[in-house]
C-alpha cells in the first residue's frame, strides 16, 4: 500500500508545484514569467507598467509553448492640464432657475457648472467657489468656505433643484454682495488682492432693476460676466457686465451648447495666453493682455471693424500724407509729387517753383527792317539838312540887301 501511495503523492506534488509556478508569486523562489501583457498607466510624466496576472504565459521551462514577440512601442497619450493655476479668485456662480428654464435645460446648466469647477484649481489658498440659485427668491447653495475641493463642489451642484418662479436677477446680485462676498462666508479681504468674480447665467429679462445693484458690485471691484441663453435680454446683460463688454458678455442660442463656453471662461479666468496657443484669429499680430488679447496690424494696414482682420491703408485718402501738391499711394505707403513747373524739395514733401533761364532769340527779319528804317531816317535827315542850308542862304542874301 505504501508503495502504491508514494508514486501518487509524488505526482500530486509535481502537479501542484507546476500550477504554483505558473503564477507570479515569488514565495516559492521561482521567477515570474517575463512576457507580460501590459498597458500603460500615465502619472504625471512617468509611464508605469501594470501587470495582468490572469494573462501570464506558461512558465519559461515549458517546452511546448512558442512565444510570440510583443511590440515594444507603447502609444501613450499624455494627459492635458485641466486645472487653472494661474491665479486664485473668489468665484460666485449665479444661476437662473426660473420657470422659463425647463428641467432638462437646468441639467445642462449644472453640467456647465461642474465643467467650470473641474477646470479650476480649487482650495482654501487657491480658487474658492460659491453657487447662488435664484428665481423670485434667492438661495445660496454653498458658500466660498463650504467646500475646498472639486469633488465635493460637483456633488453639491448635482443636487441643486430649480426654484421655478420669477427672475429677480438684481436680488440675486444683491444677495451675492451682502451674503457671499463677505469674509464670514469665505471671501478674502481686499488687502490680499485676490480677484472677486461673479458669473451670471440667465435666459430671461430681469423682473427687477439690475443696473444700480450691478454698478454697486462693480464699484466693490467685483468683476461680472453675464451669460445669456435663448430669450435673454441682451440690454440687461450689458447693464450687468463689467467693461470691456466684448470680454464679459456672452450669448448662446440654447442650453444644449452652453458647455462650449467652458473653454472661453477657462481662457478668461485662468489667464491663458491665447496668442501663444494660437486661439486668437488675428490676421497679423496678436497682443496678450491680462486675461485676454487684442489684434494689431502691421505698418501700412488698419484694423477692420471685426477687430481681427486688416486692410491696407490709403494714406493719401486719409489726408495724413503731408504732401504739398500731389500724394501717390503705393503698397501701404505713399510718395509726394509736384505740379508742372515745380520741383520736389529735399524734405520729399514741399515743392518749389522751377527757375527757368530766358534765352532771347533774334528775329532774322529784325536786322533787315532796322537797316531799311535807318536808311529812311538818314534820307529824311539829309533832306531836312538840304532844306535848312537853302533857307540859310536865302536869309543871308536878304540881310545883305538890307
The pLDDT, as a whole number, for residue 385 is 86
Residue of 177 and 317 predicted with greater confidence = 177
CA gap 389, 135 in Å, rounded: 139
From residue 289, how far is each of 143, 206, 268 by CA, in Å? 31, 32, 11
Same fold for the domain at 90-270 and the one at 315-353? no
Class of domain 90-270: alpha beta
Tell which wins on pLDDT, 156 or 278. 156
370-396 average pLDDT score: 83
Q: How far apart are CA 386 and CA 48, in angstroms?
A: 144
Cell readout for 370 is 532796322
What are the structural domain ranges in the chain?
Answer: 21-65, 90-270, 315-353
Whether residue 297 has pLDDT greater than 70: yes
Q: Percentage of the chain with pLDDT > 70?
A: 71
Lowest mean pLDDT among 47-51, 140-144, 344-348, 387-391: 47-51
Q: Other CB atoms closer than 10 Å to residue 19's CB: what's the count?
A: 9
Residue with more model confidence, 183 or 67? 183
pLDDT at 120 over 60: yes
User: Whose CA is closest to 204, among 142, 116, 134, 157?
Assistant: 134
Q: CATH assignment of 315-353, given 3.90.700.10, 3.30.70.100, 1.10.3720.10, 2.10.25.10?
A: 2.10.25.10
User: HEC profile for 269-284?
Assistant: HHCCCCCCCCCCCCCC
pLDDT band (50, 70, 90) for residue 138: very high
Could you give the CA distance from residue 11 to residue 53 in angstroms, rounded to a whole number?
26
Res 49 pLDDT > 60 = no
pLDDT average, residue stretch 59-87: 42
Enumerate the β-bridge partners of residue 288: 293
Q: State the pLDDT confidence band at 356, using cuts at 50, 70 and 90.
A: low
What is the pTM (predicted TM-score) of this model? Answer: 0.50
Amino acid at each position: 500500500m505504501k508503495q502504491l501511495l508514494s508514486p501518487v503523492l509524488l505526482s500530486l506534488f509535481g502537479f501542484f508545484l507546476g500550477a504554483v509556478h505558473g503564477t507570479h508569486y515569488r514565495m516559492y523562489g521561482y521567477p515570474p514569467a517575463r512576457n507580460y501583457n501590459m498597458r500603460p498607466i500615465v502619472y504625471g510624466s512617468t509611464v508605469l507598467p501594470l501587470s495582468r496576472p490572469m494573462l501570464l504565459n506558461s512558465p519559461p521551462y515549458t517546452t511546448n509553448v512558442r512565444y510570440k514577440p510583443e511590440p515594444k512601442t507603447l502609444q501613450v497619450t499624455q494627459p492635458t492640464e485641466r486645472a487653472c493655476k494661474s491665479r486664485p479668485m473668489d468665484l460666485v456662480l449665479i444661476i437662473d432657475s426660473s420657470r422659463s428654464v425647463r428641467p432638462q435645460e437646468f441639467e445642462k446648466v449644472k453640467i456647465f457648472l461642474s465643467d467650470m469647477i473641474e477646470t479650476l484649481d480649487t482650495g482654501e489658498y487657491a480658487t474658492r467657489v460659491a453657487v447662488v440659485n435664484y428665481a423670485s427668491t434667492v438661495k445660496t447653495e454653498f458658500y466660498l468656505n463650504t467646500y475646498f475641493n472639486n469633488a465635493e463642489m460637483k456633488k453639491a451642484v448635482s443636487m441643486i433643484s430649480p426654484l421655478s418662479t420669477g427672475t429677480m436677477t438684481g436680488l440675486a446680485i444683491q444677495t451675492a454682495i451682502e451674503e457671499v462676498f463677505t469674509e464670514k462666508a469665505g471671501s478674502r479681504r481686499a488687502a490680499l488682492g485676490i480677484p472677486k468674480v461673479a458669473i451670471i447665467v440667465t435666459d430671461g429679462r430681469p423682473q427687477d432693476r439690475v443696473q444700480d445693484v450691478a454698478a454697486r458690485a462693480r464699484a466693490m471691484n467685483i468683476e461680472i460676466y453675464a451669460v445669456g441663453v435663448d430669450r435673454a435680454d441682451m440690454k440687461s446683460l450689458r447693464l450687468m457686465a463689467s467693461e470691456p463688454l466684448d470680454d464679459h458678455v456672452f450669448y448662446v442660442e440654447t442650453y444644449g451648447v452652453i458647455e462650449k463656453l467652458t473653454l472661453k471662461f477657462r481662457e478668461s479666468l485662468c489667464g491663458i495666453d491665447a496668442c501663444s496657443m494660437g486661439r486668437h484669429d488675428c490676421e497679423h499680430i496678436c497682443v496678450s493682455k491680462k486675461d485676454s488679447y487684442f489684434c494689431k496690424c502691421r505698418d501700412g494696414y488698419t484694423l477692420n471693424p471685426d477687430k481681427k482682420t486688416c486692410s491696407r491703408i490709403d494714406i493719401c485718402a486719409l489726408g495724413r500724407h503731408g504732401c504739398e501738391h500731389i500724394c501717390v499711394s503705393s503698397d501701404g505707403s505713399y510718395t509726394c509729387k509736384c505740379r508742372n513747373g515745380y520741383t520736389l524739395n529735399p524734405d520729399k514733401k514741399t515743392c518749389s517753383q522751377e527757375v527757368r533761364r530766358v534765352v532771347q532769340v533774334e528775329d532774322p527779319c529784325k536786322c533787315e527792317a532796322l537797316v531799311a528804317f535807318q536808311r529812311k531816317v538818314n534820307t529824311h535827315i539829309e533832306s531836312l539838312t538840304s532844306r535848312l542850308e537853302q533857307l540859310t542862304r536865302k536869309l543871308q542874301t536878304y540881310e545883305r540887301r538890307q
